[in-house]
Structure 1
Amino acid sequence: MNAFAARSDLTLAMVLEPPHLDPTAGAAAAIDEIVYANIFEGLTRIGPDGAVKPALAASWEVSADEKTYVFHLQQGVRFHDGAAFDADDVKFSLDRARAPESTNAQKGLFTAIDEVEVMDPSTVRVSLKYPSGDFLYNMGWGDAVIVGRTSAAGNKEKPIGTGPFKFQNWAKGSQIVLAGNPDYWGEKPALDRATFRFIPDPAAATAALLAGDVQAFPSFPAPEAVPQFQADPRFEVVIGTTEGETILAENNARPPFDNPKVREAIAHAIDRKAVIDGAMFGFGTPIGSFFPPHHPAYVDLTGERKYDPELARKLLTEAGYPKGFRTTLKLPPPTYARRGGEIVAAQLRAVGIEADIIPVEWAQWLDQVFKGKDYDLTIVAHTEPNDLNIFARDDYYFNYRNPAFKALIAQIEATSDDAKRKALYQRAQGILSDDAPVAFLLQFPKLGIWDAKLQGLWKNYPIQANDLTAVKWTD
């Protein structure tokens, strides 16, 4: 018998600090990376393999026409402030998320819902307007977590959920601490304290791991340092996949990016391999549309927009820009964006497009680019799963409009047959490749590095989460 108790605390690091901690009121992935499955829970949850699992809903039945879902809720659940969880909280949360005044960043997840009814304190019936093949999956997103009726308004600064960890404190600019929830309704995790530290600088990230200041960096920002850790037996290096389609986004409503030939020219001006090698040290997979290569419906369309500077210059001339033009490129803090941006700017310059680089902080990017649509070009990884539908949203920051694509997305959402959905997904990928509303760069890798004695962190990111429920230290 081991005389020493297993270690029960963990300090793990992230690149970006979240703007707040309410996953139902913000698009930043950093929110979910802290709170998903740790503080907040949904009716369902997405597991490490991407499969839908029960969460606050212990079980459910689906009607024959796939338009009615009856959820049977877990018993004895309480929010962190002691309030009892019941069916009224589910109705409140889903109605709040889909309300006209909702600030939910993914309101599209709830579009199919027609009505949410409380049948009794532990049973909820959700009626849909049409069958939705993604409904149970959508209910497992961070944006669909269940919040308390009395505590929801304060979740940005003091998140109160039903999960296995409670929010303890937030030292702005430095770290967020979670403590184990002794009253958790489910299986209690091995950890009783978890500290999330924010380390945006790649050199500092490497130093913090080597010094033992942090024991895990689930999404490590310094790919150039990976071989050093692979050679060090104190660490485990786990290279997985993410849902992060990384793109050079273009403001389709702003000249000259409203011209399809200009967007085509940009697509052919980009050497994806050079971006992956230069910014990611070879980690990452080239993509030709907005779809992850590990998905069964993926089509490799990288050949449709091959690197061809001569063709790019020809297309620019046809578009009325024989001498190119000057533009701006706003780059958020992550390494892939800053390093990738330098490479992309050089490639654009080679065909006559002079892109002035403007570094912005993450809060500025969210405010100026994502919300304000005040940009020409930007580079960012979209880490949400199943998010092809963002190109069908009129209010999205790309300002891309294609009625045929929009109709196709509506058809996908109303289709539950896997073979039919696959064919529709493949058609949708083709439309985006043809229209080139953005330049598709790479599928972002998950470079996980942590102490070799640590178990239970996810290899892949099927959803943006650092789920700590199964994390433990071994001897």
Structure 2
Amino acid sequence: MTLWKSILAATALALASSTSVLAAKTDLVVGVVLEPPHLDPTAGAAAAIDEIVYANVFEGLTRIGPGGEVEPALAESWEISDDGKVYTFKLRAGATYHDGSDFDAEDVKFSLERAMAEDSTNAQKGLFAAIDTVEIVDPTTVKIMLKTPQGSFLYNLGWGDAVIVASESADGNKETPIGTGPFKFDKWSKGSSITLSKADGYWGDPVALDTVEFRIIPDAAAAVPALLTGDVHAFPNMPAGDALPQIQADPRFVVVVGSTEGETILSTNNKKAPFDNLKVRQAIAHALDREAIIAGNGSGFGTPIGSHFSPGNEAYVDLTGTYPHDLEKAKALLKEAGFENGFKATLKLPPPSYARDGGQVIASQLREVGIELEIIPVEWAQWLDQVFKAKDYDLTIVSHTEPNDIGIYARDDYYFQYDNPDFKAVIAELDVTSDQAKRNELYAKAQKIIAEDAVNGYLFQLPKIGVWDAKLEGMWENSPVQATDLTDVKWAE
């Protein structure tokens, strides 16, 4: 704590002199914790991709707004048939890509069919499973026919995985992204920063910022000085550590503790012994003390959860009491499962503090019931390759920040390796249900199934700790999608 006070005192003068200049600026430096593996949101699961390019560089037919609402984007309007199976989209006339090529219905057809294809590398391919055919009516009109009605279809089209790309430039989007958004890609200094600039000829309202630099700063030791000296103007998700109270007390900054869609979980390999045993997973659930995990997760903030669902959603059911913290019950379940003396396993931890710090707490808690965890720190790219793709893990900790994504538990190839026909039936019914009250009932049913099956250790909803210069306007307080949308951000005059 003394260290952070010293930093604050030493940099106060520098900050005071710099902030007077910032009000007139049209450039912005944004701090981000993770460097993305690449910049194509249609070909990767990393939230760090959308954090930079969603709504800034790439756009979909629809977009998700700051309150989680569905808004028009490259589709200015749409009509839905009475049976809910045909969507006719009117596209933006005059929209262009950053290389000067025109956006039209051909791009929509290409993008959706590419995402649906058998060899698709889209991390959320299931979003497009309901699509039967995509028909071009004219250059600014597209008709999408669904196999069955899907109540979440417009919402699904607002995910970063559903952005529209051009066939001519799609293959190069990982390194040189070309979209239709209000910002264009300028450069990527690997390991350091990614820079965007204002796109000329944007179809919508022009942005106020001329340049945006996303600077990669993974920890509090570097983030706090960067903020205090004015080198970084905003951290949408700041690794503040124990310096947060001092920053909160400083009127030169705005600190907003908002909500995210990030269900932070102890992900479990359900097809790997002994985690394929329900009693073992139940024992782990009883051994977890959520409040202690939240206190030690690097920020001290978070809302306890008992299933894979956001407390901010109207369909949320509080299931934290399904497996209350009970060490004796955990030990009894392990004994019933044949592990009276416990067992050893590995815990792979990606870089974020909620994982690295929270992992230490969880390892200590499981040790109390006889489960010895070998902690293996991995970089983000390693986590994606080893855990997410290869399913080479026992346990891991990660926040799933995709919006409203409980349906991932119905996927046969998902890295949890969970397989429950009853759960799949609920999700299948949900997919063809548009009545919101009925959808909420099905969401509740789905939450209860995976909670009772203890598929994963459900820990807490990841908070969004946003810190930025008090003269900045338009930053999002909450994160209904995994994005840093800068389209309305400006410096106060």
**Other structure's SS at 2:322 match:** helix
Equivalent residue number for residue 227 of structure 1:
245
Residue 65 of structure 2, aligned match among 47, 58, 67: 47
Residue 162 of structure 1, aligned match among 180, 191, 197: 180
Corresponding position: 1:175 with 2:211: no
Percentage of pairs with the same residue: 66
**Other structure's SS at 2:475 match:** coil
Question: Is contact 1:222–1:335 with CA below 8 Å preserved after alignment?
Answer: no
**Other structure's SS at 1:304 match:** coil
Equivalent residue number for residue 278 of structure 1:
296
TM-score, length basis structure 2: 0.95
Corresponding position: 1:339 with 2:357: yes
Residue 308 of structure 2, aligned match among 290, 310, 328: 290
Residue 87 of structure 2, aligned match among 69, 72, 81: 69
Equivalent residue number for residue 429 of structure 2:
411
Residue 321 of structure 2, aligned match among 290, 303, 327: 303
Corresponding position: 1:421 with 2:442: no
Residue 321 of structure 1, aligned match among 316, 320, 339: 339
Question: Is contact 2:52–2:484 with CA below 8 Å preserved after alignment?
Answer: yes
CA-CA distance at 1:224 after TM superposition: 2.4
**Other structure's SS at 2:446 match:** helix
**Alignment-mate amino acid for residue 69 of structure 2:** A
Equivalent residue number for residue 202 of structure 2:
184
**Alignment-mate amino acid for residue 231 of structure 1:** A
For 1:139 and 1:427, locate their aligned partners in 2 and report how far apart those are by CA, in whole Å. Answer: 25
Question: Is contact 1:202–1:335 with CA below 8 Å preserved after alignment?
Answer: no
For 2:132 and 2:231, locate their aligned partners in 1 and report how far apart those are by CA, in whole Å. Answer: 49
**Alignment-mate amino acid for residue 361 of structure 1:** E
**Other structure's SS at 1:302 match:** coil
**Other structure's SS at 1:420 match:** helix
For 2:305 and 2:141, locate their aligned partners in 1 and report how far apart those are by CA, in whole Å. Answer: 43
Corresponding position: 1:395 with 2:413: yes
Deviates more, 1:406-415 or 1:223-232: 223-232
**Cα deviation digits, residues 23-77 of structure 1 (max 9, x gap):** 0000000000000000000000001011000000010000011100000000111
For 2:23 and 2:287, locate their aligned partners in 1 and report how far apart those are by CA, in whole Å. Answer: 58
Question: Is contact 1:45–1:53 with CA below 8 Å preserved after alignment?
Answer: yes
Question: Is contact 2:287–2:330 with CA below 8 Å preserved after alignment?
Answer: yes
For 2:224 and 2:407, locate their aligned partners in 1 and report how far apart those are by CA, in whole Å. Answer: 36
**Cα deviation digits, residues 220-244 of structure 1 (max 9, x gap):** 1234222111111110001100000
**Other structure's SS at 2:458 match:** strand
Unaligned runs of 5+ in 1: none
**Other structure's SS at 2:321 match:** helix
**Other structure's SS at 1:276 match:** helix
Equivalent residue number for residue 260 of structure 1:
278
Question: Is contact 1:223–1:283 with CA below 8 Å preserved after alignment?
Answer: no
Equivalent residue number for residue 115 of structure 1:
133
**Alignment-mate amino acid for residue 65 of structure 1:** D
**Alignment-mate amino acid for residue 68 of structure 2:** G
**Other structure's SS at 1:405 match:** helix
Equivalent residue number for residue 367 of structure 1:
385
**Cα deviation digits, residues 322-370 of structure 1 (max 9, x gap):** 0000111000000000000000000000000000100000000000000
**Other structure's SS at 2:348 match:** strand
Residue 482 of structure 2, aligned match among 464, 468, 472: 464
Equivalent residue number for residue 242 of structure 1:
260
**Alignment-mate amino acid for residue 387 of structure 1:** D
After TM superposition, list the pairs within 5 Å mapping 1:75-90 onto structure 2. Answer: 75-90=93-108
For 1:132 and 1:281, locate their aligned partners in 2 and report how far apart those are by CA, in whole Å. Answer: 38
For 1:239 and 1:223, locate their aligned partners in 2 and report how far apart those are by CA, in whole Å. Answer: 14
**Cα deviation digits, residues 156-207 of structure 1 (max 9, x gap):** 0000000000000000000000010011111000001000011112221111
CA-CA distance at 1:6 after TM superposition: 2.9
Equivalent residue number for residue 25 of structure 2:
7
Deviates more, 1:204-213 or 1:327-336: 204-213
Question: Is contact 1:288–1:440 with CA below 8 Å preserved after alignment?
Answer: yes
Question: Is contact 2:304–2:460 with CA below 8 Å preserved after alignment?
Answer: yes
Residue 98 of structure 1, aligned match among 116, 130, 154: 116
CA-CA distance at 1:7 after TM superposition: 1.2
Question: Is contact 1:223–1:447 with CA below 8 Å preserved after alignment?
Answer: no
**Alignment-mate amino acid for residue 135 of structure 2:** E
Question: Is contact 1:259–1:319 with CA below 8 Å preserved after alignment?
Answer: yes
Question: Is contact 2:239–2:299 with CA below 8 Å preserved after alignment?
Answer: no
**Alignment-mate amino acid for residue 188 of structure 1:** P
**Other structure's SS at 2:134 match:** strand
For 1:83 and 1:64, locate their aligned partners in 2 and report how far apart those are by CA, in whole Å. Answer: 36
CA-CA distance at 1:8 after TM superposition: 0.3
CA-CA distance at 1:280 after TM superposition: 4.1
CA-CA distance at 1:211 after TM superposition: 1.3
For 2:184 and 2:140, locate their aligned partners in 1 and report how far apart those are by CA, in whole Å. Answer: 24
For 2:377 and 2:346, locate their aligned partners in 1 and report how far apart those are by CA, in whole Å. Answer: 10
**Alignment-mate amino acid for residue 386 of structure 1:** N
CA 1:5 to 1:452, structure 2 compared with 1: closer, same or farther past 3 Å? closer
Unaligned runs of 5+ in 2: 1-20
**Other structure's SS at 2:28 match:** strand
Question: Is contact 2:23–2:471 with CA below 8 Å preserved after alignment?
Answer: no
For 2:420 and 2:220, locate their aligned partners in 1 and report how far apart those are by CA, in whole Å. Answer: 39
For 2:299 and 2:148, locate their aligned partners in 1 and report how far apart those are by CA, in whole Å. Answer: 46
CA 1:148 to 1:473, structure 2 compared with 1: closer, same or farther past 3 Å? same
Equivalent residue number for residue 366 of structure 2:
348
**Alignment-mate amino acid for residue 440 of structure 1:** Y
TM-score, length basis structure 1: 0.99
Equivalent residue number for residue 380 of structure 1:
398
